[in-house]
Amino acid sequence: MSSNQGNLGAFNFKVVLLGEGCVGKTSVVLRYIEDKFNDKHISTIQASFLTKKLNISGKRINLAIWDTAGQERFHALGPIYYRDSHGAILVYDITDEDSFQKVKNWVKELRKMLGTRVCVCIAGNKADLERDRVVSREEASRYAESVGAKHYDTSAKQNHGIEEMFLDLSQRMVEVAEQNEQGQAQLRPSGSTVQVIDDSEKPEKTGCCS
Amino acid sequence: MHLDCGIQESRPDMIEMIDEAITYIVEVDSKRAPQYKLSCIVKCAKQIFSVLLESKARSLMLDSESSASSVTNSADYFLPALIYVVLKANPTRLYSNISYISRFCNPKRLMTGEGGYYFTNLCCAVGFIERIEASSLNLSEEEFERYMSGEVLPPGGGWEGGVWLCEGMRLLRQNTKALHDLSQREEKLFTHAVELKQEMLLFQGGDGIVLGNLDGCGYVSGREDGERVGETGVQEVDSHKDREVVRTNVFSNGAIMYEGKDGGVSKSQVKSVWWRVRACEGGVSRVGATDQGVVGVVQEGGD
């Protein structure tokens, strides 16, 4: 986790998007990033790996958002995706009870594999389809709270709740990272080992090129 | 294709685009430094995205009810497409290259950047292929078995064309056919061998060709300018008189073989070279029954 704070004091966070297929993971992230790009650009860029630069109270944050394939057949590959991630956004469809069950599975798995280091947000997407809702907001919120996550109603279509969700997640990730930094600083008197590895790569690179 | 990756593999220009992606992923092995390997993977991924986009654009033209084009680029489509490309490409030392990159690439760059993302996807693709099973392809157990054994070929335009037939599958089919051919030939050979063995049993008397034979003949006699051929021959022949012979074979080298009714075979040899020569010259037509029921092999001064 020492890699959070990269050069120039910016935080680099990896955020994975998890959820069943067709719940709108990609739409959510596209809506979020869209502020920077116009519609035409969106259709030509790929949307499965996106980055976003944020500035929260003077702290620079680089978000790398990883979209994942949601089909059930790829479920077993999850650990490869969320390894070393700092945050996770679990998306479900409020009109689909199954997708909410999937989210619960993901939470269990994440907590088991990554513990509390990972910040989790649960997004009830397609909030614009309120009349078809089958997952109650109270139930979802209560569940989210019980697992130490935040629940958001989002609508990628109407651009609702997404900005807040990412902002909150980023803030929490900063908190966790700062706690970690402190914890590690106490545990490890000389924190230069990582630096050494980083430096050693540069001469090696020039050697290869020449 | 059961991966549902949305690639229209039948179109020639599509194939070209996919080929380009395959070229990139194959190139990984030729690069030395991990970051170059990684950049090949990124290039391959980018190419896959353009393939997906192109596919989508085409299907949009055909079917206006398709959902928004922006969703095409999601990982839901990308990963299956990547798996498809990896399967098609079958890159050299893929596993070693992955291990190499994960060991020697700067972890900070590997785990956070774009390259890391695509690398992770590649790991996922490999992971998926490793533990591929019927349920992960939405196939029944039997169907899956049949595909895996090469008994049936996957449907779909591209596969039927033969151009896109995966090399392994093609080889598999070829080998199955060759094996079938071989077993047929072996069977044929075996029956031939059995026939030959039977003939050899018949030919046991001599190693020449059969000049002629006559069913039911008791002995062979011949004349040389009106004289009986050397006594040996006659004597030998006579000794077979007691036997109830059902078939007499005369060979070009002078051997005479009698097949007895009891299935036994006895033979005699006419020692005279002249006789042999004569026998040869006489040919099959000269071998015939005389009025006494003998096989005459002599031409001149016949019986």
Residues 77-96 of A with CB under 8 A from B: 77, 80-81, 83-84
A contacts of B135 (beta carbons < 8 Å):
73
pLDDT in tens, B251-290: 655 566 666 666 666 666 554 433 443 444 443 333 433 3
∠ Cα B303 B254 B192 (to 5°)? 120
pTM strictly above 0.80 = no
What ranges do the domains of chain A cover?
11-187
CA distances from B302 to B225, B226, B257, B285 (A): 9, 7, 22, 13
Question: In this model, does residue B150 exceed pLDDT 90?
Answer: no
Least confident piece of the model among A110-124, B82-96, B109-123: B109-123
Helices (H), B9-113: 12-27, 34-62, 75-89, 94-104, 107-112
Instruction: Identify whether the C-beta of residue B211 lies closer than 8 Å to the C-beta of residue B297.
Output: yes
Is B103 at the interface with chain A, CB within 8 A?
Answer: no
Please, which residues have CB within 8 angstroms of residue A202's CB and are 6 or more apart in sequence? none
8 Å CB contact of A43 and B70: yes
pLDDT in tens, A76-97: 888 888 888 899 999 999 999 9
Residue bearing the bigger pLDDT, B28 or A200: B28
Is A10 at the interface with chain B, CB within 8 A?
Answer: no
ipTM computed for the complex: 0.78
pLDDT in tens, B205-251: 544 455 555 444 434 444 333 333 333 333 334 444 455 566 666 66
The CA distance from A114 to A33, in Å, is 27
Say which of A45, A80, A197 has its CB closest to residue B124.
A80
8 Å CB contact of A48 and B78: yes
Instruction: Identify whether the C-beta of residue A97 lies closer than 8 Å to the C-beta of residue A134.
Output: yes
Q: How far is B159 from chain A (nearest CA, A)?
A: 24
pLDDT in tens, B35-56: 889 889 999 998 888 888 887 7
Q: How far is A40 from chain B (nearest CA, A)?
A: 10
Question: In this model, does residue B7 exceed pLDDT 90?
Answer: no
Is B74 at the interface with chain A, CB within 8 A?
Answer: yes
Chain A with chain B: Cβ pairs closer than 8 A: 101
Question: In this model, does residue A120 exceed pLDDT 60?
Answer: yes
- H or E, element range at A75: none
- What's the pLDDT score for residue A171? 92
Say which of B69, B120, B138 has its CB closest to residue A43.
B69
Number of residues in chain B: 303
Say which of A14, A69, A208 has its CB closest to residue B76.
A69
8 Å CB contact of B73 and A26: yes
Fold of A11-187: Rossmann fold (3.40.50)
